[in-house]
Amino acid sequence: MKGAYQKAYDESITNPEQFWGKAAEEIHWFKKPTKILDDSNKPFYRWFVGGEINTCYNALDRHVETGRGDQVALIYDSPVTNTIKKFTYKELLAEVAKCAGAIASLGVTKGDRVIIYMPMIPEAVFAMLACARIGAIHSVVFGGFAPNELAIRIDDAKPKIIISASNGIEGQKIIEYKPLLDKAIELASHKPEKCIIYQREQVTAQLISGRDLDWNDVVSHATPADCVPVASTDPLYILYTSGTTGMPKGVVRDNGGHAVALKWSMKYVYDINPGEVFWAASDVGWVVGHSYIVYGPLINGSTTIVYEGKPVGTPDPGAFWRVISTHGVKSLFTAPTAFRAIKKEDPNGEYLKKYDISCFKRLFLAGERLDPDTYHWASNLLKVPVIDHWWQTETGWAIAANCAGLEELPIKPGSPTKAVPGYQVDILDNDGKPLPPNSEGIVAIKLPLPPGTLPTLWQNDVKYKESYLDPFPGYYFTGDGGYKDEDGYLYIMGRVDDVINVAGHRLSTGAMEEVIAKHPDVAECAVIGAADDFKGQLPVGFVVLKAGVTKDEKTIVDELIKMVREQIGAIAVFKNAVVVKRLPKTRSGKILRSTMRKIADGQEYSIPSTIDDPAILGEIEEACKKIGYGKKN
């Protein structure tokens, strides 16, 4: 007899229109869709065509109108400023409506873009929801990105305005945002008309007359704005993700499919009900922050937490337990890196003993592969289900998970369990043919993708097709390798392209190579992602110097590390580079990065038949040993 999971999954695959049509009834529509799934322009599928919606209305107004106005919607918890502040749905709506009025007063209308470059403060959430309220398209850029990366996004999104803050706080360190923003605008070809700057008490940013406006001045005098209905298929936001070429791709999220999928996932993936407290310990600059700090919990009528702190050091490894205990968190969603950091500082869980976390029911982990060691440690410590689940910036919500709100299946360490309803996940060989169980291949999702996933890339249908649909016609190419076992459990083994995963953040090795190649002494280079017990992966650079260079190699490596930090940002954690005489290549000149990655990880490898000179691999082995990578003797 089929369980609840299998029933839901089968219906979602055999009759997706019926399945998602029912899910759409949980959302408020100004105008109901005339067609649930439009497949008239394959491979570009569209969900809930003909419908009109407003995401902010679904996240705020309707809860106030149906009697949830006095419930806490958002908790701001900042150990770095020693602040806890709570906003009810009514209070959050008032803040967002005024912010929307301020943005609208600057001439921003439906379809205009707004870049948000802010730390983890409530105003970042106000700004996102305010854009959604008036139909503007927001693009949040993580506050840790360097000016060059921000400039690329400014030129692609072409925002009418940018909203930022005077500073962020990383642990004990104050990071001034305004100089980074000014530099980015200077580098960008497109210039925003205005910038709104929220002045924090740690730093007062210097405003540029005529362009920059103080948040408090412009918002306090604004007339609250009403919700603007938009088409279900209109974009809600653009979120940039690393591309293998070094140029970020602007993932587009539509309004209708996004609202339906996130509402469904809050109940059936996370088992969170209206009024319950859900905490995604991420950043609004990442997709997890969009989906599960801001939109998912609020559309669901739950309470969400904006946490400005770290898992350790703010002030100690008990930081997460304090938040869970203080705010009655039912479930936490974070990256395995956070738990590796806690495990490193407090291996015996002494800090947990200080707090009552009896409210806590489940831990969800994603963003990178959950290694079995971390799974067992967290599971033994917390005595609650530890659920690994797998998804991407592009999909916006889980592809594979143990759907807690449907039916909890047995957990297999190392696996994110099975495909979530809506996703038909297949393992393909290089020719696109499905592989049998326990055969490793390329992880692909049969089209159409479910609602909430990317319909395309920002103003680049061609790149969308090339990147995701052309590799295996009829499928979405995830870029990950893996396999399914005989029970249908999925195992994700890592990227098959040149994007690496550093502590849950996808970063392009191509972008780092572009920076390194600018050094006057560098002839060519390759950056790979080497396995790291703590961060998941760390970038390692292999550098070939130009002939005649006499400068000390250590000096050059130090300069490269500094360049990557300045141009990509500290988030890249680029700390290891080694000078080599040459790089291993195919006869056609392609660098054999996957072979280099195996050498750095100390794995067995076969000499590729296409290599131009096998002796080079021995040189790479020696270079890896120099910097602590490769096979340990």
Q: What is the pLDDT of residues 400-416, one digit of tens each?
A: 999 999 999 999 988 99
Q: Helical H runs in 543-582? A: 553-567
What is the C-alpha to C-alpha distance for residues 255 and 450, in angstroms, rounded to an integer? 14
Provide the pLDDT for residue 525.
Answer: 87
Provide the pLDDT for residue 171.
Answer: 82
Beta bridge mates, 476: 445
Half-sphere exposure of 355 (CA within 13 A, CB side): 22
User: pLDDT tens digits, residue range 354-393?
Assistant: 999 999 999 999 987 787 778 999 999 999 999 999 999 9
What is the C-alpha to C-alpha distance for residues 318 and 355, in angstroms, rounded to an integer? 8
Domain 500-626 has what CATH class?
alpha beta
Residues 6 or more apart from 474 whose CB is under 8 A from it?
Answer: 43, 446, 447
Please write down the long-range contacts of 525-528, taking CB distance under 8 Å and 24 or more positions apart.
525/583, 526/583, 526/591, 526/593, 526/596, 527/574, 528/500, 528/593, 528/596, 528/597, 528/600
CA distances from 35 to 42, 46, 292, 423, 456 (A): 15, 9, 27, 20, 19
Provide the pLDDT for residue 572.
Answer: 80
Give, rounded to a whole angstrom, the gap between the first and last alpha carbons of the chain: 53
Provide the pLDDT for residue 486.
Answer: 97
CATH architecture label of 68-72+88-228: 3-Layer(aba) Sandwich (3.40)
Copy the structure tokens of residue 577: 């580079």
Residues 6 or more apart from 322 whose CB is under 8 A from it?
Answer: 355
Provide the pLDDT for residue 588.
Answer: 53
What is the C-alpha to C-alpha distance for residues 169 and 182, in angstroms, rounded to an integer? 19
- Taking the alpha carbons of 275, 276, 280, 286 in that order, is the dihedral positive or negative? negative
Domain ranges of the chain: 68-72+88-228, 500-626
Provide the pLDDT for residue 245.
Answer: 47
Q: Which amino acid is at 152?
A: I
Nearest to 90 by CA among 78, 73, 105: 73
Residues in the chain predicted with pLDDT less than 50, given as ranges, are: 244-245
> Does 500-626 match 68-72+88-228 at the fold level?
no
Provide the pLDDT for residue 440.
Answer: 85
